[in-house]
Amino acid sequence: MMNIKTLNEFILDKQHEFPYASGDLTRLLNDIGIASKIINREVRKAGLVNILGAAGTENIQGEDQQKLDVYADNQFINAFKYGGQVCAIASEENDDFLAFDNEPSKHGKYVVTFDPLDGSSNIDVNVSIGTIFSIYRRVSTDGPAQLEDFLQKGSEQIAAGYVVYGPSTMLVYTTGKGVNGFTLDPSIGVYCLSHPNMKMPDDGRLYSFNEGNYNTYSKGLQKYCDWVKEEDKSTGRPYSCRYIASMVADIHRNLIKGGVFCYPATAGSPNGKLRLLYECNPMAFIVEQAGGVATTGNQRIMDIQPTSLHQRVPVIMGSKNMVNKVLEFTQQYG
């Protein structure tokens, strides 16, 4: 055999790191890997939808064609519903959480929150998109899952990860013991460990802001955006702006190269745009585990007590020294 470590082998190898592990998390992570491969298969056909049948129309078998984000949502829901480990899910695509009433899943000890397709405006233009997930232990003790099972702080996450559908497909996850990245080898349909123990550089020269919103930023953020453009050899400025508008892809790049990603409060979105449960907490867990920082500007993202499922929060996350530099500006100028 070649020197390949597959995702399944890796997850199994790591099971012993959890005392009293019953194998449930192992099975759950494997199920997520499989669901992501099914989503990947559809993503890879995205541009063909127009010639094979558009979303909202019937396909040749008389089945309704689904939009990719609805398709991804259903794939994940089915993986969890029939997997047996998860008693309830909450997804960006559904107004309310969904508690499973089937055996054996209704006894599952985990709940999962997810963004089935992140960066969906990029689907039609063939630019990287992603999937984000977050796993918590259920806290309610009997009967169907409750809202309280989902309104847990990010610091309670058992595991979190994302899949990025880029030039290649990668799955990156953490269980709180570092971050590991796997690249899908499409010829054999297997995720292979390609990025062991990922570490975010403390410094970087990339900033990922939607600067079109500059006029509605706080004074501090405006000053930071001005500062990055100044010429200064010692700090390597001007920095380069990199903004894909797929949070997963933006943070994945910054994780590897070093950078800061920000989606602040704006006039149109006073709490920012990104959702705490589906986007900010899971990405914050990964970023922190890789040595980076994730904050609202006032508070660590993972310390926020959620109050509703679809809650939005402002977010600044990325390389430690870069986030701290942004905070210097927001603290000085507000």
- Residues at the contact surface with ligand AHG, assessed by CB under 6 A: 92, 115, 118-120, 210, 245-247, 263, 273
Strand 159-165 vs strand 129-137: parallel, antiparallel, or unpaired? antiparallel
Q: Which stretch binds Mn ion (CB under 5 A): 43-51, 88-96, 140-148, 183-191?
A: 88-96
Shortest CB 245 distance to ligand AHG, Å: 4
Pick one of ligand AHG, Mn ion, none as the site partner of residue 149 (Cβ within 5 to 8 A by kind).
none
Alpha helices for 106-186 (secondary structure H)? none
Mapped onto helix, strand or coil, the DSSP state of residue 262 is: strand
Shortest CB 250 distance to ligand AHG, Å: 6
Does 73 contact Mn ion by CB under 5 A?
Answer: no
CA dihedral 119, 123, 127, 129 (to 10 degrees): 40
Q: Return the number of the residue (118 or 149) whose C-beta is nearest Mn ion.
A: 118
- From residue 94, give the alpha-carbon distance in Å to each of 97, 213, 276: 7, 28, 15
Least Cα distance to 165 among 315, 43, 270, 291 occurs for: 43
Q: How many residues bind Mn ion (CB under 5 A)?
A: 4
Q: Return the number of the residue (194 or 271) whose C-beta is nearest Mn ion.
A: 271
Q: Which stretch binds Mn ion (CB under 5 A): 41-49, 113-121, 208-216, 319-327?
A: 113-121
Does 149 contact Mn ion by CB under 5 A?
Answer: no
The mark string for 89-108 relative to Mn ion (x by CB under 5 A, - otherwise) is: ---x----------------
Cα separation of 73 and 35, whole Å?
10
Cα separation of 208 and 98, whole Å?
34
Q: Return the number of the residue (263 or 329) whose C-beta is nearest ligand AHG.
A: 263
The mark string for 33-72 relative to Mn ion (x by CB under 5 A, - otherwise) is: ----------------------------------------
Write the DSSP assignment of 62-77 as a string of letters: SPBPPPHHHHHHHHHH
Q: Return the number of the residue (162 or 239) whose C-beta is nearest ligand AHG.
A: 162
Pick one of ligand AHG, Mn ion, none as the site partner of residue 245 (Cβ within 5 to 8 A by kind).
ligand AHG
328: Cβ contacts below 8 Å, ≥ 6 apart: none
Pick one of ligand AHG, Mn ion, none as the site partner of residue 210 (Cβ within 5 to 8 A by kind).
ligand AHG
Least Cα distance to 112 among 73, 141, 143, 142 occurs for: 73
**How many other C-beta atoms are found inside a 10 Å radius of the C-beta of residue 9?**
13
Q: Return the number of the residue (119 or 201) whose C-beta is nearest Mn ion.
A: 119
By CB under 5 A, name the one of 73, 118, 250, 288 that touches Mn ion.
Answer: 118
Pick one of Mn ion, ligand AHG, none as the site partner of residue 246 (Cβ within 5 to 8 A by kind).
ligand AHG
Shortest CB 201 distance to ligand AHG, Å: 21
Q: What type of residue is 250?
A: D
Cα separation of 294 and 275, whole Å?
14
Pick one of ligand AHG, Mn ion, none as the site partner of residue 320 (Cβ within 5 to 8 A by kind).
none
Q: Return the number of the residue (171 or 247) whose C-beta is nearest ligand AHG.
A: 247
Pick one of Mn ion, ligand AHG, none as the site partner of residue 36 (Cβ within 5 to 8 A by kind).
none
Q: Return the number of the residue (115 or 250) whose C-beta is nearest Mn ion.
A: 115
Phi, psi for 268 (deg, rounded to 5): -70, -35
Cα separation of 234 and 48, whole Å?
48
Q: Return the number of the residue (146 or 269) whose C-beta is nearest ligand AHG.
A: 269
- Spatial strand order of the sheet with 315-318 comes to 240-241, 206-208, 260-263, 315-318, 293-295
